[in-house]
Chain A
Amino acid sequence: MMKMQNVGCFAIRKKLTRRQEYILLFLSFALPLLLWCLVSYVPFLYHPLIRVTDAGDSFLCAPGDLIERSAFEEENRELASGGGKVMRGERANPAYLPAPHQVARSLVTAFLTPPRRDGEAWFHESIGHSIRIVFLGFLISSLFGVPLGILCGTFPFFERLIEPFIEFFRYFPAPVFATLCVAILGINDAPKIAIIFIGTFFQQLPMVANTTRSADGALIEAAQTLGASRRRILMKVIIPSVLPRLYKDMRILLGWAWTYLIVAEVVGTSSGISWFINQQAKYRDFSNVYAAIIIICCIGLFCDMFLAWFGRQIFPWESKHKGIFYRAAEEIFGPRDQVFSIVLSKEERRKRDEQHSA
């Protein structure tokens, strides 16, 4: 007889309970953090180096030095054989592996520490600069890429005229244009924005064109039989029907623009977050480096979460519930006695809807 198996959490494509989802969400962050804590705080697990606490009679080392364990032992053997005072030290991790609490502290102190030299950027200024570069590059790219992509996706004429060249061009890696951009646009922000533009635009146009082509032909035909002009079909059928998908494309492309940031920021004069990270690495202040990386991740994540939420509000037909803007418009433009229906009870609201529809 077949045995009915209870597969629990591991059922294929079966939705988990709310509780399980939250636990897993917590674990997905907690497990890497736990691993990091173990490596940082539990001695003998990794700790390959020795931090010298007392240099003894050694001329080679000073307190605070990080040295290899073998070197430490050899030096001590030599000191002992010479009758000198041996060094003392404790096991430590390399500088590039700071402990969680150090990084957590840096998350705050990185913003509060003034730059080491006059005229250099504070941490928040570096972040602001990076964000500005990404958004300007992305904005300029979208200004051209989205309309052209929609044209290519709608009219085969433009598709044949524009897309072959773009398809050819997009196989040039964007960094190839770094020197050219500097030669043409100088060394300040302009070439950086240009790199983001090049990196984004040539991906954006084919992507938008493809998405536009995916507009449902049946809807276009329905509009034609309703007497819609070509312009009306483009503006009122094709664009709205692909808008949610275009929006998703934009979210993906914005992620790509971020990756080109690293290339862009080392072009011309180094700036922004990459500059900050390089600078901190030079000072061997690695907890600041990690703090910067975490900040970038958070900016990216929150940006994307916000855009996802915003998308649900502006495309209510996708999620089948009225978005916040629609509800706000309803409150504002609805009949006077209906304003602020939020204060109405469920029963009152039901009654109002009934009256309204009657």
Chain B
Amino acid sequence: MNSTLPDYKQMMSPEVRDRLARLVRRPVIMETLNLFKEFPTSSGKKQIVLKDISFQVHQREFLSIIGPSGCGKSTLIRILAGLETATSGEILLDGKPVVAPGAERGMVFQKYTLFPWLTVCRNVMFGLESIGKDRDTAENIALQWLDIIGLARYADYYPGQLSGGMQQRVAIARALAPQPRVLLMDEPFGALDAQTRTQMQNYLLEVWRNIDITIIFVTHDLDEAVYLSDRILALKANPGEINELIEVPLPRPRRSRMLLEPEFLATREHIDKLIRPPVKREDECEFKVVNMVGDKTFL
């Protein structure tokens, strides 16, 4: 496509440039150094899923990781969480290597993972009790969190009685309650309908703005990545490599109308070109539609 839009970098206002400059001067919370991940395939060969991934996340940054489906985004964030081990390379949290999952890295999954046998309040209490808070303290903090996410009325409900959006809100509260250093999110709104998703995005930004939390957010949705993030890490597929680190030229706080502004559209198109596969994928299909209505003037 021949673009009429100018380069997104030139569209960055001085304020935004200044903000981003200040951002990268903040302390590094989490970083990866030359991360590699291989999976054995059924034929016995090794499939390199992640290749030489190095990046840094700064305090209170909102970093998105975007890439085509199957490029290893989930694998990467699972390694950051400690749920998967890297083949080689290092992950540091506050300078200390990460080896196992822990409460200082909260995670929200795409699948609804609230414990169905616990009430909403008890779900939020789970992490707090895991890090050694006693029951009463945990309950108080949990109720405060439910208040923050506007679900205090549902404290005694079981997750099965809530809608998908509400469940993800509780999942966010549950992950944030033990005060993690970073919040890892793997396509958390992927299963929600479009309207709820927009609502959840604004809601997440509001929470993020008001507490000291660094967010690493995996998505394959371009709009979502640009709308939410300070910086976006675009990955290539096969093997998953860092393609480019994009600085988003939008000011904060973000507003829905920014989705129509030229800065947004230019950035979006830039990333779209980056992650769209340059070569034809083997699982791509061509349409072979046969005309069965005769009259095609109708459309």
Contacts and interface: CB of A to CB of B under 8 A. Distances in A.
B113 interface: yes
B26 interface: no
A225 B83 contact: yes
A315 B117 CA distance: 8
Contact of B131 (A224, A227, A237, A320): A227
A223 B114 CA distance: 10
Contacts of B160: 317, 320
B165 interface: no
B81 interface: yes
Contact of A229 (B81, B130, B159): B130
A241 interface: yes
A143 interface: no
A224 B83 contact: yes
Q: How large is the interface on A (under 10, 10 to 19, 20 to 34, 35 or more residues)?
A: 20 to 34
Interface stretch (A173-181, A196-204, A214-222, A266-274): A214-222
A232 B130 contact: yes
Contacts of B100: 224
Contacts of B131: 227
Interface string A130-164: 00000000000000000000000000000000000
Interface centre among B106, B118, B126, B155 (most CB of A within 10 A): B126
A190 interface: no
B83 to A, nearest CB: 5
Central interface residue in A224, A227, A240, A317, by most chain B CB within 10 Å: A227
Nearest to B159: A317
Contacts of B89: none
B161 A226 contact: no
A224 to B, nearest CB: 4
Contact of A227 (B109, B130, B161): B130
A226 B153 contact: no
Secondary structure of the B contact surface, majority rule:
loop
A320 B160 CA distance: 7
A219 B107 CA distance: 12
B240 interface: no
B162 to A, nearest CB: 11
Nearest to B152: A357
Contact of B115 (A229, A240, A316, A357): A240
B178 interface: yes
A244 to B, nearest CB: 8
A227 B102 contact: yes
A225 B101 contact: yes
Contacts of B192: none
A221 B101 contact: yes
B158 interface: yes
A223 to B, nearest CB: 7
A234 interface: no
Given A232-B130, A317-B158, A225 B106 contact: yes
A107 interface: no
Contact of A222 (B104, B109, B155): B109
Interface in A183-239: 218-219, 221-229, 232, 236-237
A219 B111 CA distance: 10
A236 B113 contact: no
A333 to B, nearest CB: 12
A67 interface: no
B130 A228 contact: yes
Contact of A317 (B81, B116, B175): B116
A236 B106 contact: no
A226 B126 contact: yes
Given A225-B82, A226-B130, A227-B103, 4 more contacts: A224-B83, A226-B126, A237-B115, A243-B117
11 contacts: A218-B113, A221-B101, A225-B81, A225-B184, A226-B126, A227-B131, A227-B178, A228-B126, A240-B118, A241-B116, A317-B158
Give 4 closest A-B pairs by Cβ, nearest first: A227-B103, A226-B127, A224-B101, A225-B107
